[in-house]
């Protein structure tokens, strides 16, 4: 099962999206050991179909400058979110430019229907595990039913990259995201995509 997707938004493999080359790999390994569940991770890009992204319900975006997403790329991100995906953004070097860009794109993905708010300590994302509560500075967009887009001003990638395990909350939080995205269940393998095929016939009824 894929625990995290990491978005490659530049052509260069060693580009800004991948400044912390072992970040997602290290946190996936930690969560795999902690949850006693064999997990993997993968890189996705805008040239791959959204169905590949849906191998996993969490997409990680990292960087320190505005990636300047195009309208087509925003549409792909929107398709992923609408299909059940959750986007999590971490700001390399605590970059304010990247943070502002991710807030801007998050709003565009939801067509400005919902607004960002700062998560409180009582948020489900911090209390998923009854034996361990935490708090991080995280802003999120929710549609009232679930979180769609999260932005963390902290440089989680640097913490994961150097295996700073003493900062436990930065490792427990992605595990909480995993529990949240799966409904405290388990991810399917790569052959069990979350993609829902389009309907073959028009709807028989509509509900207001």
Distances 202 to 79, 82, 151, 206 between C-alpha atoms, Å: 20, 19, 37, 10
Distance between CA atoms of residues 178 and 37, nearest Å: 12
In this prediction, residue 51 carries a pLDDT of: 85
Residue scoring higher pLDDT (196 or 92): 92
Confidence of residue 134 (pLDDT cuts 50, 70, 90): confident
Backbone phi and psi for residue 96, each to the nearest 5 degrees, phi listed first: -70, -35
Q: What is the dihedral of CA 10, 21, 118, 30, to 10 degrees?
A: 140
Residue 196 has pLDDT above 90, yes or no: no
Compute the average pLDDT of residues 148-162: 94
Compute the average pLDDT of residues 47-76: 93
Reading the block at residue 70, the tokens are 């195009």
Residue 189 has pLDDT above 80, yes or no: no
């Amino acid at each position: 099962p894929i625990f995290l997707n990491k978005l490659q938004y530049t052509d260069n493999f060693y580009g800004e999206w991948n400044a912390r080359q072992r970040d997602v790999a290290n946190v996936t390994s930690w969560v795999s050991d902690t949850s006693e569940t064999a997990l993997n991770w993968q890189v996705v890009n805008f040239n791959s179909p959204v169905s590949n992204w849906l191998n996993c319900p969490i997409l990680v975006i990292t960087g320190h400058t505005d990636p300047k997403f195009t309208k087509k790329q925003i549409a792909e991100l929107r398709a992923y979110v609408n299909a059940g995906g959750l986007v999590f953004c971490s700001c390399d070097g605590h970059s304010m430019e990247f943070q502002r860009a991710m807030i801007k794109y998050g709003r565009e993905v939801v067509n400005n229907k919902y607004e960002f708010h700062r998560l409180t300590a009582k948020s489900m994302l911090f209390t998923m595990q009854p034996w361990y509560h935490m708090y991080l500075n995280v802003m999120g967009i929710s549609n009232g039913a679930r979180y769609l887009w999260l932005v963390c001003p902290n440089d989680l990638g640097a913490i994961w990259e150097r295996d700073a395990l003493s900062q436990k909350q930065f490792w427990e939080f992605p595990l909480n995201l995993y529990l949240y995205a799966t409904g405290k269940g388990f991810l399917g393998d790569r052959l069990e995509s979350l993609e829902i095929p389009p309907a073959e016939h028009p709807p028989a009824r509509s509900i207001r």
